[in-house]
Copies of this chain bind each other. A is one copy, B any other.
């Protein structure tokens, strides 16, 4: 019989703090269903490139996302191998998907696609 190790409330508080920012929370929700590159995020959030990079850095440092370079672009994706990934996904599952934000980008021709 399998038992899950109990979650550490202290480590979880740090994760919740990371998710407790509307930009990062929305990023994570988007990443739940799509890989995204930095320039897409800057377009979606109408934020500066360094601001976006710094949010992504925090998520990466916490092990919540990972990057892959594809040519000129660096794509971010969610890490489902994080110790508390199921917890994070449970939290994210409460929110409506934010894919409209991506389709809006497509309409503007700003969606990156380098498959």
Give CA–CA (A6, B26) in the complex, Å.
14
| CB proximity to B under 8 Å, residues A17-43 | 17-22, 25-26, 29
* A96 CB → nearest B CB, Å: 4
Of A8-16, A53-61, A64-72, A103-111, the one with at least 4 CB within 8 A of chain B: A8-16
Count the copies: 2
Q: Are B10 and A22 in contact (CB under 8 A)?
A: yes
Find chain B residues with CB under 8 A from A26 CB. Answer: 9
* A95 CB → nearest B CB, Å: 5
Cβ-closest chain B residue relative to A18? B20
- Total residues of chain A contacting the partner, CB 8 A: 25
Partner of A21, one of B6, B13, B21, B91: B13
Q: List 22 A-B contacts (CB under 8 A).
A: A6-B96, A7-B94, A7-B95, A9-B22, A9-B25, A9-B26, A9-B95, A9-B96, A9-B98, A12-B25, A12-B94, A13-B19, A13-B21, A13-B22, A15-B20, A16-B16, A16-B20, A17-B20, A17-B21, A20-B20, A87-B94, A90-B94
